[in-house]
A and B are shown apart, each in its own frame.
Chain A
Amino acid sequence: MSLILSSIIVLGGIGVLSAAVLYFVSKRFHVVEEPEVALIEAELPGANCGACGYSGCHDFAVNCAKVPSLEGFNCPGGGEKAMSAIARIKGVDSVAARPMVAVVHCNGTCENRPIKSYYDGARSCAILSMVAVGATDCAYGCLGEGDCVAACRWNAITMNPLTGMPEVDTDLCTGCGVCAARCPRSLIELRPKGPRGMRVYVACANREKGAMAIKECKVSCIACGKCARSCPHDAIRIENNLAYIDFEKCKLCRKCVDQCPTHAIHAVNFPILKPKSELAGTIEEKR
């Protein structure tokens, strides 16, 4: 009986003492914070992705509360919804940032780019890219170990088991760019979501000359320049044996898409106009 009693007294005593210390410390070292900080932080997604340039959502809120305007502050994760809410809190006009989406510049599926070797090391693109060229011949394309999938805080990227390629869900992607920074081959680029999600881009990053590139992958850019010549808006340039479509200049006319002999140019989210049998297979329609 006395054992139980002494235990209760000792533990209770420790509890009371700790509570007193905690109470004292919390009063003595209380940090006065702008009430705005808590309000702003409540609107942020809380993923701490770092895409805004600050070390986490709290840091963003603290810095955002310090200055009167919203200039230079953008939370890609929260998107327009979060930013307009923050603008309301601060009583300023919201600065509409262009919504961006991650685009993978590779279409090296198992079918287009045969697997030549077997890798059984640690499952990480960063490690694989240091050890060898990857499971296929292409030294520029997707390694398929899913570093981008692991990096995404929004579950917007998934690995398609049929193609072995990552796929970005346009609705879930916030354009934070964490995946782009993580990809050891720099295959992911942030491009504007475009009207109704329509985008045209080159799904290849191979910088070898055409003859070598086409041997490595059936749908590689061979830098023939047909797309650049066909573009009425001068939006396509060929650099290092690779075509790049400048999204600032591109008017989404899709003239280049049909020109590309290797079908390396992808047009996504366009409404299907005339389902030509040969065209239907070449233009990938993604939702």
Chain B
Amino acid sequence: MLHTFHKGGVHPPQSKLTASQPIIDIELPRKVVVTFSQHIGAIAVCDLKKGDHVTRGQVIAHAAGFVSTNIHTPISGKVVKLDRCKTAFGHPADTVTIEASDEDHQSDLDAIESLSPVRDDDTAMSLASEELIKIIDDAGIVGLGGATFPTKVKLTPPPGSKADILIVNGVECEPYLTNDHAIMLANSEDIVRGIRLLMRAAKVDRAVVGIEANKPDAIEAMTRAASTCRAIEIMPLKVKYPEGGEKQLIEAVTGREVPSGGLPISVGAIVQNVATALAVSDAVRYGLPLMSRVITVTGPSVKKPGNYRVPIGTDIRSLIDIAGGVPSDVGKIILGGPMMGKAVVSIDAPTIKGVSGILMLPLSMSRRREPEPCIRCGACVDACPMGLEPYLLATLSRFDRWEDCEDNKVMNCIECGSCSYICPAARPILDYIRLGKNKVGAAIKARRAQSK
């Protein structure tokens, strides 16, 4: 009997079109646009000037505070522009544009060609926890599952709490996305090294890698890679969305339930994504900062769907062009998966650290149905993995009853979208819950500021 979480969950069609495909390294772009807010937390500070020359892997924006992270350039070149550009969601943001000359391009290609380890495994494994966290911090590593929370913050638990297990998230429960699947097949050895380093950094002696049972090849590859390390267990999990949610995964793996409002550390768990583990391995072994990631470009009518290793900052349009261009019947382009991803308003925007996939849905699949009145069927209550009452929260939020929203634990919502997905009346449940979360979150913040 495979483990899973107990409350709620839904079973959207898997649609993993690119499941068995290898990772394709895309050509190093000549021009990248890098934004300074690619993570949760304070916006990184850039002190470059126009005309400055930067080399591949150089820090171009520094972390501004504890919950923040460095940002590195994925190519060498000259700073040609420092201005405001639109993100994929249309919001203006400060960006830096870097363009490579022929020489820069060639030197980058040579550097990639002649990549060699800066530390062998024995040296890496003898580093102290603080040294490892410093390397992870300097490398600008954030949670690559999509939330982009700085990894070093998760590895430095608040005083008084102690982690006893590292849970590595290889679940990938979002339909269509296969980027984690692809790296587990291609880089299983590196991921296992990354997990061992993360265990050392977090001072835990047990790690469990949770992988949904729909990826038997990944489970096999990871089991083989981890066979030398007895502290790492590979755990196949029952297929159910949102198994990859942090709290759901902790419950599935350990049976512990994170209390309302609590962090995973309160039950002794630290959760990291497999892609994050890979980035840690690259940072420690090769001295490479986080400047590329695997992105699944997919969709039912995409010509060449695949898993592409992309320098972060490549614009979305050129990445889509590599995958065969925007299909003519497309109705919606989503960054991330279909359940939790966000639709873009423009593809002339750079990729950022948190982009796990680019999903192009045909028009017929992308329109919402006209909402109908709630029929009180309770399907959303059954589907909610957090044990909330989505229909109630949505209604309270619609009528501005923020205090009642708070009493009904709106802040526990993980925005997985199971309620909106399952609703037979096509009600925009999550839209309203998100509004409630926003308002209640602001009220809680204001209360805290007042009591200080």
Interfacial residues, chain A to chain B (CB-CB below 8 A): 116-117, 120-122, 124, 126-127, 130-134, 137, 139, 208-209, 212
List A contacts of B92 (CB < 8 A): 139, 208, 212
| Given known A-B contacts A130-B438, A139-B92, A121 and B431 have beta carbons under 8 A apart | yes
In the assembly, what is the distance between CA of A125 and CA of B267, in Å?
39
| Given known A-B contacts A132-B89, A132-B343, A127 and B435 have beta carbons under 8 A apart | yes
| Given known A-B contacts A120-B367, A120-B368, A122-B428, A132 and B86 have beta carbons under 8 A apart | no
List B contacts of A131 (CB < 8 A): 89, 342, 431, 434
Contact A137 B438 (CB under 8 A): no
Most chain A CB within 10 A, of B89, B343, B345, B367, is at: B345
In the assembly, what is the distance between CA of A208 and CA of B94, in Å?
11
> A126 touches which one: B90, B343, B435 (CB < 8 A)?
B435
List B contacts of A139 (CB < 8 A): 90-92
Q: Nearest residue in A to B85 (C-beta to C-beta)?
A: A212
List B contacts of A134 (CB < 8 A): 90
B84 CB within 8 Å of chain A: yes
Contact A133 B342 (CB under 8 A): no
| Given known A-B contacts A117-B345, A120-B368, A127 and B91 have beta carbons under 8 A apart | no
Contact A208 B84 (CB under 8 A): yes
> A132 touches which one: B342, B431, B435 (CB < 8 A)?
B342
Contact A137 B368 (CB under 8 A): no
User: Interface residues of B toward A: which range?
Assistant: 10 to 19
Give the shortest distance, in Å, between B333 (CB) and chain A (any CB): 10
A-B contact pairs, 11 of them (CB 8 A): A117-B343, A120-B367, A121-B428, A122-B371, A124-B432, A126-B435, A131-B431, A132-B89, A133-B89, A134-B90, A208-B92
Lowest 3 A-B CB distances belong to which pairs?
A: A133-B90, A122-B431, A122-B428
List B contacts of A116 (CB < 8 A): 345-346
Q: Nearest residue in A to B87 (C-beta to C-beta)?
A: A133
Contact A133 B432 (CB under 8 A): no
The tally of CB-CB contacts under 8 A between chains A and B is 53
| Given known A-B contacts A137-B86, A137-B90, A122 and B432 have beta carbons under 8 A apart | yes
Give the shortest distance, in Å, between A113 (CB) and chain B (any CB): 13
Most chain B CB within 10 A, of A116, A122, A134, A208, is at: A122
Give the shortest distance, in Å, between A271 (CB) and chain B (any CB): 40
In the assembly, what is the distance between CA of A119 and CA of B91, in Å?
16
List B contacts of A124 (CB < 8 A): 431-432, 435
Q: Nearest residue in A to B371 (C-beta to C-beta)?
A: A122
Q: Nearest residue in B to A136 (C-beta to C-beta)?
A: B90
Q: Nearest residue in B to A126 (C-beta to C-beta)?
A: B435
List A contacts of B371 (CB < 8 A): 122
Q: Nearest residue in B to A212 (C-beta to C-beta)?
A: B84
In the assembly, what is the distance between CA of A192 and CA of B195, in Å?
65
Q: Nearest residue in B to A151 (C-beta to C-beta)?
A: B400
In the assembly, what is the distance between CA of A137 and CA of B349, in Å?
13
In the assembly, what is the distance between CA of A106 and CA of B89, in Å?
21
In the assembly, what is the distance between CA of A117 and CA of B428, in Å?
19
Q: Nearest residue in A to B439 (C-beta to C-beta)?
A: A126
Q: Nearest residue in A to B93 (C-beta to C-beta)?
A: A139
In the assembly, what is the distance between CA of A114 and CA of B388, in Å?
40
| Given known A-B contacts A116-B345, A121-B368, A212-B84, A132 and B432 have beta carbons under 8 A apart | no
Contact B345 A132 (CB under 8 A): yes
In the assembly, what is the distance between CA of A120 and CA of B332, in Å?
11
Give the shortest distance, in Å, between A179 (CB) and chain B (any CB): 14
Give the shortest distance, in Å, between A153 (CB) and chain B (any CB): 14
Give the shortest distance, in Å, between B317 (CB) and chain A (any CB): 15
Cβ contacts B76-98/A at 8 Å (1 or 0 each): 00000000101001111000000
